């Protein structure tokens, strides 16, 4: 069985809670940071940690990862309130700006 890899450090930040983590020379895995509600060794944690999403991207599909993150963040915002299309487009642009400015 392979060695467990720590994904807490490293990667390319897409937003404050999404990043691409390099698996090897050509492939990336999308990771999401949140407080885990899982039962087990991480019980009762209050600090967000990085979790693997099981979504993999190659060097030529990184834009697809960015679109996936924008889609997920947009869906989260749309679940909180109904938006007109014009407002949704503005929200989407805001999400993309967040990705450009992520540190």
Q: Using an 8 Å Cβ cutoff, are 58 and 26 in contact?
A: yes
pLDDT at 100: 85
Residue 89 within a domain: yes
Give me the pLDDT at residue 1, please: 43
Domain membership of residue 45 (yes or no) is yes
What is the reported pTM?
Answer: 0.78
HSE-CB of 72 using CA atoms within 13 angstroms:
15
Q: How much of the chain exceeds pLDDT 90, in percent?
A: 67
| Residue with the larger pLDDT of the pair 74 and 3 | 74
pLDDT in tens, 23-64: 999 999 999 999 987 645 555 568 899 999 999 999 899 999
In a domain? residue 6: no
Q: What is the tally of structural domains in the chain?
A: 1
Q: Which two tokens stand for residue 88?
A: 């949704």
For the residues 12-22, what does the mean pLDDT come to?
94
Radius of gyration, alpha carbons of the chain: 15
The verdict on residue 96 lying in a domain is yes
Is 7 inside any structural domain?
A: no
Q: Which domain holds residue 17?
A: 12-101
Q: Does 7 or 40 have the greater pLDDT score?
A: 7
């Amino acid at each position: 069985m392979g060695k467990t890899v720590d994904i807490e450090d490293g990667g390319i930040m897409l937003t404050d809670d999404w990043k691409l983590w390099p698996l090897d020379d050509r492939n990336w895995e999308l990771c999401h940071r949140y407080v885990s509600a899982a039962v087990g060794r991480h019980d009762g944690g209050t600090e967000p940690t990085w979790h693997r999403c099981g979504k993999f991207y190659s060097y030529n599909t990184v834009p697809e990862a960015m679109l996936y993150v924008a889609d997920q963040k947009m869906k989260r915002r749309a679940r909180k309130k109904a938006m007109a299309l014009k407002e949704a487009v503005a929200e989407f642009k805001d999400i993309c700006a967040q990705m450009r400015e992520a540190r």
